[in-house]
Amino acid sequence: MAKQPETKVTFSVFNKEFNEAMNEMKGESKQLRKEFKLQSEQMKDTASETQKLESRIEYLGKQQSIAKRQIQETEKQLEKAKKVYGENSNEANKLSNRLLDLRISEQKLQNSINRTETELNQQAQDMADARKEAGKFRQSLDKTAEAANNVGDSLSTGLTLPLAGVGVAAGATAMNVQDSIRLMNDLVGEAGDEAKQLEEDFRAVWDDGFGNSPEHVARSIALIKQNIQGINNGSELQKVTKDMLALAEVTEVDMSEATRGVNQLMHNFGITATEALDLFVKGQQEGLNYSNEMFDNIAEYAPLFQGMKFFGRGILCDSSQWYPKRSI
């Protein structure tokens, strides 16, 4: 039996070492996928969207590192094959194709990292915008403290809203996020796509730092949906919920009274929920809630004022004397 050339025998040894190294890296990649899958399940109901994206970037980076090592090993092996078998040999061509596949896989990982980083940056921008809007609303409410200084320091103290803690509210509470979402859907009676949208609205409010707990946010959204007729899920519900939670924090109003008051102004005077809330903020600034009955009074008398052709802004501006202005 003829002996194989020494160079080819030597290459066979190298080939064995190469295959063992590649299989080891495949095992690393497979183990990494399992660990990431477990981590994703653990973070599903407890982590913020930012934390989930950061975790994905870390996972993709580790997978890319393994892919680069595989590329380096294959490049070395290809050079050896070319020396032993020749540039256009079957062995060299097989390794060239394998190297190309590895480079494609590594580029896909890089593309995934780029997309995830873009999503993370967009989320950071959205959070910054939310903080800016919250800051504007807080400034409006801060004026309430100045206008109502006769109430004393208690109102000023109450103006230290939890809005400054945007993102901090992602921690644990008595009722967790998933339980609160189920409670909210049960109270509102949503299902299917509507329930999914409502969950997105809930997370948008909670992740931006509004509400004392997930349960607080869930019950507030349920009250708004139940008491404010015709309010749309999505950005409108998110904004109204955030504004109402902030206003309720300052005025210590019952959320049920506040939602009924907003609903009456909307449907009797043809204004939006945001415009109704702006009127209540103005009323608070004018000291009209000194007896904590502003929302309840508006909810009760708005239909009467509408029948008398009084306009919403006039009602709030002069309601301390109960001589509403007529609309012009």
Residues of the chain predicted below pLDDT 70: 1-14, 130-131, 133-175, 250-252, 286-293, 295-297, 299-328
Residue 18 domain flag: yes
Residue 193 pLDDT? 85
Question: In this structure, are 140 and 276 located in the same domain?
Answer: yes
Question: In this structure, are 196 and 242 located in the same domain?
Answer: yes
Residue 246 domain flag: yes
Question: In this structure, are 149 and 123 located in the same domain?
Answer: no
Q: What is the pTM of this model?
A: 0.43
Residue 325 domain flag: no
Identify the domain containing residue 293 by its residue range: 130-318
- From 128, 157, 181, the end of a domain falls on 128
Residue 285: φ, ψ to 5°: -65, -30
Question: In this structure, are 137 and 65 located in the same domain?
Answer: no
Q: How many Å apart are CA 319 and CA 119, to the nearest integer?
A: 48
Residue 328 domain flag: no
Residue 107 pLDDT? 94
Label residue 69 exposed, middle or buried (CB < 10 Å: 0-12, 13-18, 19+): middle
Question: In this structure, are 170 and 234 located in the same domain?
Answer: yes
CB 316 within 8 A of CB 288: yes
Question: In this structure, are 209 and 274 located in the same domain?
Answer: yes
- Cα dihedral sign for 107, 103, 23, 73? negative
How many Cα neighbours within 13 Å face the side chain of 140?
Answer: 18
Which amino acid is residue 3, in one-letter code? K
Question: In this structure, are 111 and 187 located in the same domain?
Answer: no
Residue 326: φ, ψ to 5°: -80, 145
Question: In this structure, are 68 and 183 located in the same domain?
Answer: no
CB 210 within 8 A of CB 241: yes
Residue 243 domain flag: yes
Question: In this structure, are 89 and 166 located in the same domain?
Answer: no
- From 67, 95, 128, the end of a domain falls on 128
Residue 143 pLDDT? 60
Question: In this structure, are 102 and 201 located in the same domain?
Answer: no
Residue 278 pLDDT? 79
| 3-state SS assignment for residue 46 | coil
- From 128, 143, 158, the end of a domain falls on 128
Residue 267 domain flag: yes
Q: How many Å apart are CA 326 and CA 191, to the nearest integer?
A: 44
* pLDDT per residue as tens digits for the range 58-104: 999 999 999 999 999 999 999 988 888 888 888 889 889 989 999 99
The set of long-range contacts for 292-298, using a CB threshold of 8 Å and a minimum separation of 24, is 292/251, 292/252, 292/253, 294/251, 294/253, 294/261, 294/319, 295/251, 295/253, 295/254, 295/257, 295/258, 295/260, 295/261, 296/257, 296/260, 296/261, 298/261, 298/264, 298/265
- Please list the residues that pair with 326 across neighbouring strands: 310
Residue 173 pLDDT? 41
Contacts of 258 (CB under 8 A, 6+ apart): 244, 247, 248, 251, 280, 295
Residue 293 pLDDT? 67
**Domain tally, the chain:** 2
Question: In this structure, are 72 and 95 located in the same domain?
Answer: yes
Residue 323 domain flag: no
